[in-house]
Amino acid sequence: MAKATIIHPGFYSSIQDLGRLNYRNIGVPQSGAMDMETATMLNKSLGNTPEDAILEMITIGVTLIFNASAYLSVSQNVDQVYVNDFSVDFSKIVKIKNGDHLKIGRVTTGNFIYVAIAGGWQTEKVLGSRSMYAGITNVSRLSVDDFIAYESVECDVDLFRFRESDTTKSNLISVFEGPEFHLLPEAIKKAIFEKELIVSKSWNRMAFNASTDLKVDLQQIKTAPVTPGMVQFTPNGELLFLMRDAQTTGGYPRILQLTEDALVTMVQLQPGSSFQLKRKFKSSK
């Protein structure tokens, strides 16, 4: 088994895949790549399966040294990719040789950077997934001198090239009504879809936040199941957009649910970005 050793860990870098899909009943979060669309596209570009593990970074990329050949696919939202201090064209598959240093730059758009490797990253599987999460896997993020195992497999370097449209994202977030949406006063329901919302500077893989300045005295619900993409409404008018590492239960009213496409869009909205909610379906309540 080959390995890539971490020279610089970037910021909150971790290995993710499609997550743990069948363990929420015992309190295990789903986890997985925040931007599933990009992760799946990068795996496809290398001929991998959608389930193969991918390297995820937040805003700042890693520096790695490889001890065997590899083929990489890098998300297109970074400023530069360097191999042995030389800038390379990462709009296509990047070929790595034994001893090469790879340096991933900073984001130009969005929050999350991804690097897929032919054959997938081969870290430990726990409960059917390689996704790192504190308390489930031995480590929750990568540090200096950690190594990531992989199999050195061949790949057609001319297999894929990214298009400009692959990095296009919207700021319109599509949602369905959630289980407690009907509890909101009619004026609040209307205002939520009319307001321009701002992504808070305080966010993580568990939740993104946005203030509505709409305060309403809603009765708190008993602890109930929540899932990634669910939107909770707090007493002070804050919307909590639950993400891949979200808890499995919660007590705030669940007023909305993001579509999967909207969740992918949301995770790449940078702090301070404006967005608006769009209702996909209006109930008859």
The pLDDT tens digits for 118-159 are 999 999 999 999 999 999 999 999 999 999 999 998 887 665
Instruction: Write out the residue range of the structural domain in which residue 12 sits.
Output: 2-167
* Residue 148 shares a structural domain with residue 176: no
Give the domain CATH number at 268: 2.40.100.10
Does a structural domain hold residue 221?
Answer: yes
Residue 218's pLDDT is what?
Answer: 76
Q: Quick one: 121 and 178 in the same domain?
A: no
Question: Would you say residue 284 lies in a domain?
Answer: no
| Claim to verify: residue 16 and residue 151 sit in the same structural domain | yes
On whether both 232 and 267 belong to a single domain, the answer is yes
Please classify residue 272 by burial: count the beta carbons closer than 10 Å to its beta carbon, then call 0-12 exposed, 13-18 middle and 19+ buried: exposed
The whole-number pLDDT of residue 222 equals 79
Given a cut of 90, whether residue 274 has pLDDT beyond it is: yes
Last residue of a domain, one of 134, 167, 200: 167
142, 245 contact by CB (below 8 A): no
Give yes or no: residues 140 and 7 share one domain. Answer: yes
For residues 112 and 63, membership in a common domain is answered with: yes
Q: Rounded to two decimals, what is the model's pTM?
A: 0.93
Q: If pLDDT is split at 50, 70 and 90, which confidence band does 280 have?
A: confident
Q: What share of the chain in percent tops pLDDT 90? A: 82
pLDDT score recorded for residue 284: 46
Q: In this structure, is residue 158 part of a structural domain?
A: yes
Do 8 and 82 share a structural domain?
A: yes
Residue 177 has pLDDT above 50, yes or no: yes
Residues 132 and 40 in one domain: yes
Share of the chain above pLDDT 70, in %: 93
Looking at the domain assignment, is residue 21 inside a domain? yes
State whether 163 and 240 are in the same domain: no
- Assess whether 176 and 221 both reside in one domain: yes
| Residue 165 reports pLDDT greater than 50 | no
- Both 162 and 241 in a single domain? no
- Of 134, 150, 167, the one marking the end of a domain is 167
> Is residue 232, in this structure, part of any structural domain at all?
yes
Q: Is residue 252 part of a domain?
A: yes
- 49 in a structural domain: yes
* 285 domain residue, yes or no: no
Domain closes at, from 167, 190, 208: 167
Looking at every residue in the chain, the average pLDDT score rounds to 92
Q: Which of 59-63, 72-76, 223-227 has the lowest mean pLDDT?
A: 223-227
Characterize 169-199 residue by residue with b for buried, 16 or more Cβ atoms within 10 angstroms of its Cβ, and e for exposed.
beeebbbbbbbbbebbeeebbeebeebebeb
Number of domains in the chain: 2
**Is 221 a residue whose pLDDT tops 60?**
yes
- What pLDDT score does 156 carry? 73
Helix, strand or coil, per DSSP, at residue 280: coil
Q: How confident is the model at residue 43 (pLDDT cuts 50, 70, 90)?
A: very high
- Kindly state whether residues 7 and 51 are assigned to the same domain: yes
